[in-house]
C-alpha cells in the first residue's frame, strides 16, 4: 500500500483538532502559524493536508466533505498538490539525499512567497520534519515567521523533538496523541483489515503509531519478509544480516526502535546481563543519532552480543 499523508483521503483520527481549526477559519480567527507536535506516524501531516484542502477547495467543485472528514479526489486543489503544481501550496522537507533542511530551501521559499499571488486564496507553507532545520535555516525561517505576508499560513510539523522556544512561541500549538487502542483502530481503518492478521504481535510495539505500522508492512512486502510468522528476534536478525539498513534512513530508525523493544520484551530480574546490555545499547543508539556515528557497527555489535548469545 503506497499511502502517504498527501493522498490520504479520509481523516480517521484527530477530528476534534480539525474541528477546532475549521471553526477558527469560519470565524476568521485562524492563526497564520500552526504547530503540530507528536510522535512520527500519528497523522500530523494528514490533519495538515485535510485542513489545507478544506480551505482551498471551499469555493471549488468537489469541495471538502466536512461531514465525513473526506477529501474528494476529483477536487482541483487536491490534484494540483498531488502533481506538485499548486501555486497556493509550498512543501519544505528533507531532500532524499540530505540529512537536514538546508538554508537554500528556506531562501527559495522566501523568494516564492514574495511573488504576487495567482488568486485570492490563502497560501500555505507546510514544513515537515521541523527538527531537521539547521541553525542557518532556523534563523531564516524566524524572519519570515515574524512578519509573514498577508494570506500566508504556516503549518509546522515536529516529531516530538526539541525546537527553539522562539519558534514555538509564535505558533498555535497542538500536541497530537493516540492511545495504543486508538492507533490499532486507525491502522485497521487505513488497511481495511485487522493488523493482527498481517503482523506478528511481537512486532507491534505498545507505542507503535499507525504510520510506523504501515511503514513496516510496506517494508516487509517490498523485501518479501513474512512478518506474520516470524518473531521479533528473527525479524531483527534478517534485516541486520541482510544489511537492509543501508536502504534508507527509515530502516535504521526502525531497527533502533526494535532493539529497544527487544530488550523491553525480554528483560527480567533474573537476567542481569541483559539488563546491563539494555543500558549500554540505549546509550549506543543515542550516541549514534547524536554524533552521526556508523550504524553498521552498532547493529553488528547488537547481533553478536544479544541475538547470537
Q: Per-residue pLDDT for 2 more than 70? A: no
pLDDT at 1: 52
DSSP state of 8: -
pLDDT at 100: 85
DSSP state of 33: E
Per-residue confidence band for 124, with pLDDT thresholds at 50, 70 and 90: very high
Q: Per-residue pLDDT for 285 more than 70? A: yes
Spatial distance between the Cα atoms of 48 and 34, rounded to a whole number of angstroms: 9
**Residue environment code for 126-140, b if the CB has 16+ CB neighbours within 10 A, otherwise e:** bbbbbebbeeebbeb
Backbone angles phi, psi at 26, to 5 degrees: -60, -35
pLDDT at 29: 96
Length of the chain: 309
pLDDT at 3: 65
pLDDT above 90: percentage of residues in the chain: 72
Per-residue confidence band for 22, with pLDDT thresholds at 50, 70 and 90: very high
pLDDT in tens, 58-79: 999 999 999 999 999 999 999 9
**Cβ atoms within 10 Å, residue 267:** 14
Q: Find out whether 93 and 128 touch, Cβ atoms under 8 Å.
A: yes
pLDDT at 279: 93
The grid coordinates listed for 70 are: 473526506
Among 141, 84, 131, 132, CA closest to 107: 141
Q: Which residue has the cell 498527501?
A: 6
Strands (DSSP E) found in 58-193: 89-92, 123-127, 152-158, 172-175
pLDDT in tens, 38-48: 999 999 999 99
Neighbouring residues of 59: CB distance < 8 A, sequence distance ≥ 6: none
Alpha-carbon distances, residue 102 vs 41, 99, 114, 140, 142 (angstroms) = 23, 9, 19, 10, 14
Q: Per-residue pLDDT for 116 more than 60? A: yes
pLDDT in tens, 181-217: 999 999 999 999 999 999 999 999 888 999 999 999 9
How high is the mean pLDDT of the chain?
Answer: 92
Q: Per-residue pLDDT for 114 more than 90? A: no
**Average of per-residue pLDDT across 33-40:** 95
pLDDT in tens, 153-181: 999 999 887 787 888 888 999 999 999 99
Q: Per-residue pLDDT for 99 more than 80? A: no
- What structural domains and CATH numbers belong to the chain? 5-175 (3.40.50.300), 180-307 (no CATH)
pLDDT at 118: 73
Q: Find out whether 162 and 290 touch, Cβ atoms under 8 Å.
A: no
pLDDT at 149: 80
pLDDT above 70: percentage of residues in the chain: 99
Per-residue confidence band for 287, with pLDDT thresholds at 50, 70 and 90: very high
Spatial distance between the Cα atoms of 38 and 45, rounded to a whole number of angstroms: 11
pLDDT at 269: 72
**Cβ atoms within 10 Å, residue 65:** 15
Q: Per-residue pLDDT for 152 more than 80? A: yes
DSSP strand pairing (33-37 vs 89-92)? unpaired
Backbone angles phi, psi at 226, to 5 degrees: -80, 90
Amino acid at each position: 500500500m503506497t499511502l502517504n499523508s498527501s493522498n490520504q483521503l479520509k481523516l480517521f483520527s484527530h477530528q476534534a483538532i480539525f474541528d477546532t481549526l475549521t471553526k477558527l477559519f469560519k470565524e476568521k480567527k485562524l492563526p497564520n502559524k500552526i504547530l503540530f507536535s507528536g510522535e512520527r506516524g500519528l497523522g500530523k501531516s494528514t490533519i495538515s493536508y485535510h485542513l489545507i484542502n478544506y480551505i482551498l477547495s471551499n469555493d471549488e467543485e468537489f469541495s471538502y466533505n466536512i461531514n465525513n472528514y473526506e477529501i474528494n479526489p476529483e477536487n482541483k486543489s487536491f490534484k494540483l498538490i498531488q502533481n506538485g503544481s499548486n501555486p497556493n501550496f509550498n512543501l519544505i522537507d528533507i531532500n532524499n539525499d540530505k540529512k537536514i533542511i538546508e538554508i537554500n530551501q528556506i531562501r527559495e521559499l522566501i523568494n516564492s512567497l514574495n511573488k504576487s499571488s495567482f488568486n485570492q486564496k490563502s497560501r500555505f507553507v507546510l514544513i515537515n520534519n521541523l527538527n531537521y532545520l539547521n541553525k542557518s535555516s532556523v534563523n531564516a525561517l524566524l524572519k519570515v515567521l515574524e512578519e509573514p505576508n498577508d494570506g500566508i499560513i504556516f503549518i509546522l510539523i515536529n516529531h516530538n523533538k526539541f525546537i527553539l522556544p522562539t519558534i514555538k512561541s509564535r505558533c498555535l500549538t497542538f500536541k497530537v496523541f493516540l492511545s495504543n487502542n486508538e492507533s490499532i483502530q486507525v491502522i485497521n481503518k487505513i488497511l481495511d483489515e485487522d493488523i493482527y492478521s498481517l503482523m506478528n504481535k511481537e512486532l507491534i510495539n505498545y507505542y507503535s503509531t499507525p504510520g510506523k505500522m504501515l511503514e513496516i508492512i510496506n517494508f516487509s512486502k517490498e523485501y518479501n519478509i513474512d512478518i506474520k510468522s516470524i518473531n521479533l528476534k528473527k525479524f531483527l536478525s534478517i534485516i541486520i544480516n541482510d544489511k537492509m539498513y543501508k536502504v534508507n534512513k527509515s530502516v535504521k530508525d526502525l531497527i533502533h526502535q526494535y532493539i529497544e523493544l527487544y530488550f523491553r520484551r525480554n528483560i527480567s530480574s533474573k537476567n542481569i546481563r541483559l539488563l546491563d546490555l539494555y543500558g549500554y545499547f540505549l546509550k549506543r543508539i543515542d550516541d549514534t543519532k547524536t554524533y552521526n556515528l556508523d550504524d553498521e557497527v552498532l547493529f553488528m555489535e547488537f547481533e553478536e552480543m544479544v541475538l547470537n548469545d
